[in-house]
Structure 1
Amino acid sequence: METRSQLSGTQDGRHLAWRAAALIVLALGSACGGGADTDAADTAQAAADRALREQISAVMTAAMADHHLRALIVRVTVDGRDIATSALGESMAGVPATTEMHFRNGAVSFTYMGTLLAILAGRGSLDLDAPISTWLPELPHASEITVRMLANMTSGYADYVYEPQVLVGTDADPFRQWRNEELLSIGVSRPLMFTPGTNWGYSHTNYLILGQVVEHLTRRPLAMVMDDEVLRPMGLRNTASSTTAAIPPPVLHSYSSERRTFLQIPAGEPFVEDSTFWNPSWTTVSGAVQTTDITDLATTAEKVGSGALVTPALYAQQVGNRLVGLGERTAACPVCSPITADRGYGLGVLLLGKWIAQTKDFAGEGGAMAYLPERKVAIAVVTTLRPEAYDKGGAASNPSMPVMRRLGALLAPDQPMGPR
């Protein structure tokens, strides 16, 4: 449960949320004025935006202390209008974090992939319910598993990320360049976690295969297809795929203690290492390993959440919570979980109540984005951690989601962002 001090620092959380909601209504409603009322409407909107920025700043300041953050970057827009774009903390010692800094976007590339699939399906170039044996007949269970099952995480393929080869391999050499073929081999060589279509289990193996399906279908490299069909049409200027661990400058640096146990660092001994350029090639298919900035992250939330690039029918399929009631944790699938009305999964997107979202967590750097269609509110958050954020074993949670939830409660107090 969030306390008053966690939400606002000094003000009553319920009063703050009510006041913020009123300010958003004023900000949106004032844009509808005209004629002699234009100047007054503009003045009212500016005042509402300014008050909302102050409250967002208060949430950010509280979050820095609550979550032991080294850096926090946030962007909030309403109907495409920049309400707040701000950075707190440091990238490196003595180097302030800025809103221009680049960082990895992790699973946001899954969201782009889901959008790409919806675009291709809307054109008639792809049948979401076609078996993947159409393109990859050599894969185990390829005739039983469809494109849609891969995209909505109901295929049953095991997640290679949790296999010893990857767990130990990434700890032993975080700079290693992994190949699609070796990751795919690890994922599909394991028994299915469940019969395809009968459960829900998050698996990176799914999107590794989807990337290869797209390349077979289009006969073009995935990065080029993503750029032409998704990134450029969204107007993203600072999002790009890379085949290396490079990040364009200026760079938001991250620090991690997650290798403490592997390296046998005693629990009481201070330990953190610069993880900025650890290689993310194991996280997804080549061509979908990407970097971005906070502006592009918020724009992505808005474009995906509003269905800007896809047909209405495919938008409904991409962001519709069609799996409610499916999913349960079993002995064969400890990573499986139930899909509910307030926590679901579409085609590459998290569905948190009425918010359309995505998160990422890699090497001490967290991120999250969300969009509320009925209010046209977009939120983007990225975080890095101080050493105090890690426990004695070197583990830490991703604070970007709770920070985003606080902002969501501020902007739309009557629309909770998923389960509490």
Structure 2
Amino acid sequence: MGCSPTTRRGICVGLATAGLLAVPATAPGAVAEDLPAPLASPSSTDTGFPQLGPAVAERLDTAIRQVMREASVPGVTVGLSAPGKGEYVRSFGVADKANGTPMNPGLYMRIGSETKTFTVTALLELVDEGKVKLDDPIGRYIDKVPNGDRITLRDLADMRSGLFNYSADEGFYKALTSDPNRPFAPQELLDYSFKHPVQFQPGEKFEYCNTNLILLGLVVEKAGGRPLKNAIQEKVLEPAGLHHTLFPAGAEFPSPHAHGYTDQTASGAVEDATDWHPSWAWAAGAMISDLQDLRTWAPVVATGTLLTPRTQAERLKTLPTGIPGAGYGLGIFNVQGWIGHNGSLPGYESLTIYLPEERATLVVLLNTDILHHQIEPSTLFGQAITKIVTPAHVFDLPLPPGARPTTGAGPAG
């Protein structure tokens, strides 16, 4: 999800981030034909994951193109698979609206709040090593945190800290949009949060907040004795076999990559945000990956490959979010049985989820974060795809009650 900011404009890394300002027309080549209406979905009484043969692929093609057309998405890549059922891997539209370069499955993409799954996994590995405890107060590791003697690491990872979301601060928004290429230090981000009063007492309710992950990133560094970038590389990416995923040290963005388009700008006009410096999202949303690595990562997160069974069981204890059918655990969502996370930051959205009962993996990567009728396009793709292949488990993650459309429901980053 994203934050629930209180300002007119806020930038989140997660569920919903963008404001519904100037929605661009579909890029040339993004939809190459007049599209029929989506085919009817199977009834909710159908069970079992279908074979991903030509008939299902045709239905998926139609549904994905329909979402692209309606939400003005320039380009999208989808990877869907389940053991014994085949796989569906397709790209649609353009990676660069300026020159019409087609989208393709091998492109690097910014993954926004999916970064949270990596940061929290690194934290949980420290739990398994006995270096931290989930019920430790954050004040044991970081000074001057409001309510720091009461907020636990578990509260932070569960999005129940009560801290103000820095990416909803008006001063932060102005600083970022006036100079999107400037770097931010983690303490600068915390300063934007800590000047606000706490929103509620720890554990009282769910509220998506990027501040929580900045603090957890600092805990990983302090307790693990190495920079977060190195901790994630050595303790998470390498053991998981992810060779095209990185936590950038600066604004670097490996090639080939898609260009990303956003309306979260100072003027509200749509701009190319490809090279915006991701340090503003840091442990909450700065990472980069590609389709194949995320298809590998989905079951690792959902099944706990890198963690002890006891710690994974703690991770899967999702708590209510106020959104029907959606729970949030230690850095993961469970939405109608699909476990994983979405990501959103200026120019990009992603969705990486796993359905344990079918051992099914779904990854969606796209190059815009502009909302369509206050719904994130990644959610629209998730809905359309799961209605066809898992009608009893339809992915649906709307903006939380009260969230401003300019920030989105999910995490920025």
Do the two structures share a fold, i.e. TM-score over 0.5?
yes
Aligned counterpart, 2:124: 118
Partner residue of 1:357 out of 340, 357, 370: 340
Match of 2:306 in 1: 309
**Secondary structure of the corresponding residue to residue 402 of structure 1:** helix
**CA contact under 8 A between 1:137 and 1:143: conserved in structure 2?**
no
Summarize deviations over 1:336-379 as a string: whole Å, max 9, x none. Answer: xx446611111111221211131111223221121111111111
Question: Which of 369, 374, 382 is residue 365 of structure 2 equivalent to?
Answer: 382
CA contact (8 A) 1:160 1:186 kept: yes
CA distance in 2, matches of 1:182, 1:407: 40
Bigger mean CA offset, 236-245 vs 73-82: 73-82
**2:209: which partner in 1?**
203
CA deviation profile, 1:149-206 (whole Å, cap 9, x unmatched):
1111111111111112211111211111111111112212321111112122111111
The answer on whether the counterparts of 2:108 and 2:255 sit within 8 Å (CA) in structure 1 is: yes
Please identify which structure carries the higher helix content. 1
SS in 2 for 1:110: helix
Larger radius of gyration: 1
Whether 1:408 and 2:361 are equivalent positions in the alignment is: no
For residues 341 and 94 of structure 1, what CA distance do their matches in structure 2 show? 40
- Aligned counterparts, 1:209-224, within 5 A: 209-224=215-230
Moved more, 171-180 or 395-404: 395-404
Instruction: Say which SS state the counterpart of residue 196 (structure 1) adopts.
Output: coil
Change (3 A) 1:251 1:197: same
Unaligned runs of 5+ in 1: 1-6, 28-47, 266-270, 325-337
**Corresponding residue of 1:254:** 260
Q: Provide the aligned C-alpha RMSD in A.
A: 2.6
TM-score of the superposed pair, with normalisation by structure 1: 0.79
Which of the residues 280, 283, 303 maps onto 2:281?
Answer: 283
Where does residue 45 of structure 1 map in the other structure?
A: none
Q: Measure, in 1, the Cα distance between the counterparts of 2:273 and 2:281.
A: 15
> TM-score, normalized by length of structure 2?
0.81
Distance change in 2, residues 1:62/1:418 (3 Å) = closer
Instruction: Give the whole-Å Cα distance in 1 for the aligned partners of 2:156 and 2:347.
Output: 28
Contact persistence 1:131–1:146 (CA under 8 A) = yes
Q: Which residue of 2 aligns with 1:109?
A: 115
Aligned length: 362
| Aligned mates of 1:109, 1:390 — CA distance in 2 | 21
CA change 1:148–1:154 in 2 (3 A) is: same
Distance 1:104 1:10 in 2: 29
CA distance in 2, matches of 1:397, 1:416: 15
Looking at structure 2, the residues matched to 81 and 246 of structure 1 have their Cα atoms a distance apart, in angstroms, of: 37
Q: Secondary structure at the match of 2:331?
A: coil
Q: Deviations over 1:211-261 (max 9, x none)?
A: 1111110111111111111111221111001122221000111122332xx
Is 1:204–1:284's contact at 8 Å kept on the other side of the alignment?
no
Moved over 6 A (4+): none
| Distance across 2 between alignment mates of 1:197 and 1:52 | 43
**Structure 2: 5+ residue stretches without partners:** 1-34, 399-413
Q: Select the residue among 73, 76, 80 that pairs with 2:77.
A: 73
Aligned twin of 1:97: 103
Match of 1:152 in 2: 158
Matched, 1:186 2:199: no
Contact in 2 for aligned 1:80/1:302 (Cα 8 Å): no
Instruction: Determine what percentage of the aligned residue pairs are the same residue.
Output: 27
